[in-house]
Chain A
């Protein structure tokens, strides 16, 4: 039975909302009817789905989704909302009607079918009403007053505040600008709570309690969003070729994938880098990617990590992954390096072979991304996804200059702002063709030197700041001297 639902989102990572939801909806192959065009300016979607089960499946994956309500009434004002609900009790047509269908002149509201309300009117079904307001705070007393306005509803069961059979939700939306909150809400909603999204998982996977973390461990929420965008599900084989401390593998493993990781950093994979946590002097023995998987009881899905240089081939030809999720080094907080040496005709004597630590040269971002896209085109199953971060200077961003490959179609592109000038974008590519030759490094992308720009921008602003400060000091000194002179002059007189 198609029903209308209100999907309420967290007001965080707004640019990722659409990409995450679309990935989940297409992965689960769920037909969705949009009753209202989704907008970045509103923290909610109004949709129709074939069954409540479909809704629960979506909510079971999304970390940006907060809660889901079976919609009974939606209006611009409180009085209209109540009016609609009163009409709804009489709407026995079994479908949503407009007030015009019912012969009410001069208004254009939507009235839900009465059976939705009747299903909650059982004598034995306990209930409670929750009030939630977005962008405005109310006292408990004010909330109780709002709840009492619903007393006309034909609910016969007892009120029970703890674990009731039915939770009814009343939402008031006061816009998204906290500096400009109106007296009356823009939109009001009422309905039956169905389920919550996976917000709790963010706490459960929090880096604060993760055994093994590094300097650039991806936070739990973004890792889970990446796993969703990669459409990872049970039985999949997933690779992170710049694995680091393995945050992305934890999220992939959570959704049922078996995971491989590789990294050039020997010390990191052996859990012997300097501890990142404040106050921690030495790494504990169980600190490793495997240890992290164990912490969340998903170590049965840990395959292996391998120390390797991504610029060179290692995996067997024909091996296909179900997803590649990765956060390559940007060269700012961790070096972007591959094995190499500037010297020509370098040789290594045999006595130095054992335990030799090879020297490294810069592995520039254009090379990393061209290798990554070529690798994905070769080693992804058809129709499967590569999800990776891409750092850039905000004012230079042009969508058509993002890394591209003829076998891969860009299906997701969301921005996370890092500073006033820099950002990184989460890019999601889907493999759409097989058998395409290697594409050489894009000559234009050589202009993309994030590291250099990152530091030179910082340099400029630092310089400016210093100059401004120096000018201020000079001005102050002059002012003080002037005041002093005046004073002296007065004394002289």
Chain B
């Protein structure tokens, strides 16, 4: 699971949970792989992100990669900033671990890089 995905996931599928965001990450295996740098895509995605959540998530798994805690107001022209954002968003991946709902404490496992957000039949009744 990439951190860009984490930035968009919630646990509001759970009964009684209102926002279910952000999910806390507990990572046992983190992988960093090289992904082709695409500044156009990074610039487009930045306004869609919750930056604070991204920074905290990256920091919590020890991969903030020197990313500033706030968005550079002129980020489109700041290549160093875009490259760091690229790395955190697309190259850092949680391979094994789990996500925790901030309201209910329900855990969702991540195995082989794929988060499992399924509930049990008891939880959907």
Contact = CB atoms under 8 A, between A and B. Distances in A.
B41 A270 contact: no
Given A266-B116, A306-B117, A300 B124 contact: no
Contacts of B32: none
A117 to B, nearest CB: 42
Given A314-B9, A314-B13, A359 B114 contact: no
A353 B120 contact: yes
Interface string A279-315: 0000000000000000000011101111111001111
B29 interface: no
Nearest to A262: B117
B124 A303 contact: no
Interface string A83-116: 0000000000000000000000000000000000
Contact of B9 (A266, A306, A346): A306
A45 to B, nearest CB: 33
Contact of B122 (A313, A319, A348): A348
B121 A346 contact: yes
Nearest to B14: A312
B119 A319 contact: no
A356 B41 contact: no
A336 B4 CA distance: 29
B112 interface: yes
Contact of A348 (B5, B50, B120): B120
B36 interface: yes
Interface string A306-330: 1111001111110110000000000
A251 B45 CA distance: 21
B121 A359 contact: yes
A235 B117 CA distance: 27
B121 A300 contact: no
A7 B72 CA distance: 48
A317 B116 CA distance: 20
A320 B44 CA distance: 12
Contacts of B125: 340-341, 344-346
B90 to A, nearest CB: 8
Interface in B20-55: 21, 35-36, 38, 40-41, 44-45, 48, 50
Interface string A337-365: 00111001111100001001011100000
Contacts of A313: 10, 12-13
For chain A, the bracket of interface size reads: 35 or more
Interface in A214-245: 234-235, 237
A308 B117 contact: yes
Contacts of B10: 313-317
A269 interface: yes
A299 B91 CA distance: 12
A354 B60 CA distance: 25
A260 B40 CA distance: 18
A270 B48 CA distance: 28
A308 B10 CA distance: 11
Contacts of A344: 125
A355 to B, nearest CB: 9
A258 interface: yes
Given A300-B36, A306-B115, A316 B9 contact: yes
A115 to B, nearest CB: 39
A344 B122 CA distance: 9
Contacts of B50: 316
Nearest to B35: A300
Contacts of B90: 300, 303
B63 interface: no
A264 interface: yes
B1 interface: yes
A312 B10 CA distance: 11
Contacts of A341: 121-122, 125
Contacts of B1: 304, 306
A340 B48 contact: no
A313 B112 CA distance: 23
A308 B118 CA distance: 5
A335 to B, nearest CB: 15
Interface in A426-471: none
Contact of A303 (B5, B38, B118): B5
A307 B122 contact: no
B35 A358 contact: no
B114 A306 contact: yes
**Most chain B beta carbons < 10 A, residue from A270, A308, A345:** A308
B71 interface: no
A373 B43 CA distance: 29
B8 A319 contact: yes
Contacts of B84: none
Q: 5 smallest A-B Cβ distances: which pairs?
A: A300-B36, A312-B13, A341-B121, A304-B5, A308-B117
Given A234-B40, A319-B8, A358-B120, 18 more contacts: A237-B45, A258-B45, A264-B118, A266-B116, A300-B38, A303-B2, A303-B90, A305-B114, A306-B115, A316-B8, A316-B10, A317-B10, A341-B121, A346-B122, A348-B121, A348-B122, A358-B118, A358-B121
10 contacts: A235-B38, A303-B90, A307-B117, A309-B117, A315-B8, A317-B10, A340-B124, A345-B125, A348-B121, A348-B122
Interface of A: 234-235, 237, 258, 260, 264, 266, 269-270, 299-301, 303-309, 312-317, 319-320, 339-341, 344-348, 353, 356, 358-360
Interface of B: 1-2, 4-5, 7-10, 12-13, 19, 21, 35-36, 38, 40-41, 44-45, 48, 50, 90, 111-122, 124-125
